[in-house]
């Protein structure tokens, strides 16, 4: 008999999604344990003998895979879309059931990780780990230095106070700004700039958790090695 683990962690290990999203699946009655619907997040399972199913499909742990995609505009960061719009999953050629690690907006480009490793996703997305993100921003007008301080010290936006770790202004063209932050909230960068009077015309994530899309065209992807994954996890104290 193997060690029992929480059912949301098992869903993550089975490549379904991150642990946090797995909790939503459980609470909505989509998960069964040995033929019975599970609604308690505290439920423990023994992977060696228990049968766990999602939406009626029995789950099995599978080999973990990791990809980095240079996300183009016009793609939804989701596994599926009820409006039949193209998703980032459509761009990756794999027979594994993968999901995006976090999200980028429909019109945002750049680094997007995809995997079937829920523990890895949880490590990079959990706010307490403060995983760094770098964005290249094009504004609707030149950035003025007097707006720098509030962005660095903190601004009240939806969901609580937010701030950038660093802000670098292009001296030749101050409409272009590079920011670093550890925030993963939806539309965070756009909302921050809107608070100080700017609209973001273009947004590109150039780095996430140390991963980049250097050498990749929009829509192109590559495999991430296990060593690179281990290095990332070590950095955030998860190995």
Active-site position among 46, 55, 81, 105: 105
Q: How far is CA 178 from the centre of its chain?
A: 20
Nearest to 30 by CA among 53, 11, 7: 53
Residue 105 falls in the annotated catalytic set: yes
- Residue 122 sits at the vertex; the CA angle it makes with 117 and 124, to the nearest 5 degrees, is 100
**C-alpha span between 97 and 54 (Å, rounded):** 13
Selection from 128, 171, 169 nearest residue 152 by Cα: 169
CA-wise closest residue to 64 among 139, 3, 12 = 12
Q: Please, are residues 167 and 176 in contact by the beta-carbon 8 Å criterion?
A: no
Buried-state track 22-61, b at ≥16 Cβ within 10 A, e below 16: bbebbeeebbbbeeeebeeeebebebeeeebbbeeeebee
Measure the CA–CA gap between 221 and 91, rounded to whole angstroms.
Answer: 8
Across-strand partners of 137? Answer: 177, 203
Tell me the CA distances in angstroms from 198 to 38, 57, 109, 151, 159, one per residue in order: 47, 47, 19, 12, 20
Q: Which residues are catalytic, by number?
A: 105
């Amino acid at each position: 008999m193997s060690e029992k683990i929480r059912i949301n962690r098992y869903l993550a290990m089975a490549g379904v999604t991150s642990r946090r999203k797995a909790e939503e699946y459980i609470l909505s009655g989509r998960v069964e344990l040995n033929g019975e619907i599970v609604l308690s997040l505290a439920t423990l399972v023994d992977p060696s003998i228990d049968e766990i199913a999602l939406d009626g499909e029995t789950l099995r742990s599978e080999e973990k895979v990791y990809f980095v995609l240079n996300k183009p505009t016009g793609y939804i960061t989701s596994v599926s879309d009820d409006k039949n719009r193209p998703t980032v999953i459509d761009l990756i050629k794999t027979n594994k059931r993968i999901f995006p690690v976090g999200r980028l907006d429909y019109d945002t480009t750049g680094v997007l990780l995809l995997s079937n490793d829920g523990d890895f996703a949880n490590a990079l997305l959990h706010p307490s780990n403060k995983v760094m993100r770098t964005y290249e921003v094009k504004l609707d007008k030149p950035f003025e230095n007097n707006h720098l301080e509030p962005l660095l010290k903190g601004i009240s936006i939806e969901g609580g106070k937010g701030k950038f770790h660093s802000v670098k202004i292009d001296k030749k063209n101050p409409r272009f700004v590079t920011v670093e932050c550890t925030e993963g909230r939806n539309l965070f960068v756009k909302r921050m700039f809107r608070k100080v009077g700017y609209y973001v015309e273009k947004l590109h994530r150039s780095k996430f958790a140390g991963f980049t899309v250097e050498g990749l065209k929009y829509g192109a992807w590559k495999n991430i090695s296990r060593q690179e994954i281990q290095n990332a996890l070590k950095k955030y104290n998860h190995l």
